[in-house]
Structure 1
Amino acid sequence: MSSNTQTPNHGPELLADRSIAGIAVHPLALFTGIIGAGFVYVVSTNEFTRANARNALNWHLSILVLSVVAVVTFLLGADELTVAGEAMELSVLPTPLETVAGLVGTVLLLAAGFAWLLTGLFTAIATVKAIFGTPWEYPLARDIVTADT
């Protein structure tokens, strides 16, 4: 019988290479959007935290921009607007362009709604990845805030 004198492996220390803020920034951004993620990104000096905050910030900025573009495009396609119960004629574009803008705006609104639904799933994935030490980049997010050089 040989005795094994190796020390038992206690697993990785959770905060050796990562921080609580780097993990918590994803759920924070879920509830506060760009404000929470942006604040963590600006005040943090830990590279792991900054990378996670940047990824969350890029996702939330991307869906914010998509939502604003969708609403503006949809409104450009509207030919009537109801204000205080009265229908008002709202013709900013010629009729053919108005129809196209309305259709494109509708598709963009659906895409923005789907992106907002994906936010919960992506937050869960990013949080779990951060717990295990990987800053996860959200799929389809534009690189609006880039890494410092």
Structure 2
Amino acid sequence: MVPDSCPNCGASLSPDANYCSECGDAVDDDSWGVSSEESSWGSDGSRSDSRTEYGSSRRTDGDTTMAALTHVLAIFTWAIGPLIVLIATDDPFVEENARNALNWQIAFTFYMLVSAVLVLAVIGIVPVLLLPVVDLAFCAIAAVKAADGEAWSYPATPDII
């Protein structure tokens, strides 16, 4: 049975509500009736326990936008954008993403140079055509993962920086 008002914040609830529209507490949660001091929700609206939205160890605090932007910058500025972000940031999560993006751009450059040399032997034509598409796809995947709070390591990329 759904209560008429939220015991946590006092907001009125609709009869079919699963969550309070004001504070976000679950209506059918076992924690109804628990005081706000005993609740697992912090004063800033984030969970104080180890659970996250997806049930994994994703980052939920801090700025994930700059981390995602680092990977997008790598598409347009090669290694210059991630290098500037790496030097300028104090956030460890953004720094890890900038390092991953910079390592990938260095590895991508090496792969392109090897493929360009192999073009002389004709076998490098396919990699020269496919690597830019792979670069775009990897940077897009990394940006989405960073926006979700995950530092994604690019495949086939050594830790150079």
TM-score, with length taken from structure 1: 0.64
State the distance in 1 between where 2:66 and 2:2 align. 46
State the distance in 1 between where 2:126 and 2:112 align. 10
% same residue: 29
Q: Runs ≥4 in structure 1, deviation > 6 angstroms?
A: none
State the distance in 2 between where 1:131 and 1:121 align. 15
Question: What are the superposed Cα offsets for residues 42-97 of structure 1, whole Å, 9 maximum, x if unpaired?
Answer: 221111111111111111111101122333454xxxxxxxxxxxxxxxxxxxxxxx
Equivalent residue for 2:98? 53
**Which one has a larger percent helix, Structure 1 or Structure 2?**
1
State the distance in 1 between where 2:86 and 2:123 align. 32
5+ residue gaps, structure 1: 75-101
**Which one has a larger percent strand, Structure 1 or Structure 2?**
1
State the distance in 2 between where 1:48 and 1:112 align. 32
Equivalent position SS for 1:45:
coil
Q: For residue 15 of structure 1, report the CA deviation from its aligned partner.
A: 7.2
Equivalent residue for 1:139? 155
Question: What are the superposed Cα offsets for residues 90-128 of structure 1, whole Å, 9 maximum, x if unpaired?
Answer: xxxxxxxxxxxx42xx33442243121112211221111
Candidates 59, 62, 76, aligned match of 2:107 = 62
Equivalent residue for 1:16? 61
Question: What are the superposed Cα offsets for residues 18-38 of structure 1, whole Å, 9 maximum, x if unpaired?
Answer: 343212001111000111111
* Pairwise CA RMSD: 2.6
For CA contacts below 8 A with separation 6 or more, give which structure has more relative contact order: 1
Aligned length: 115
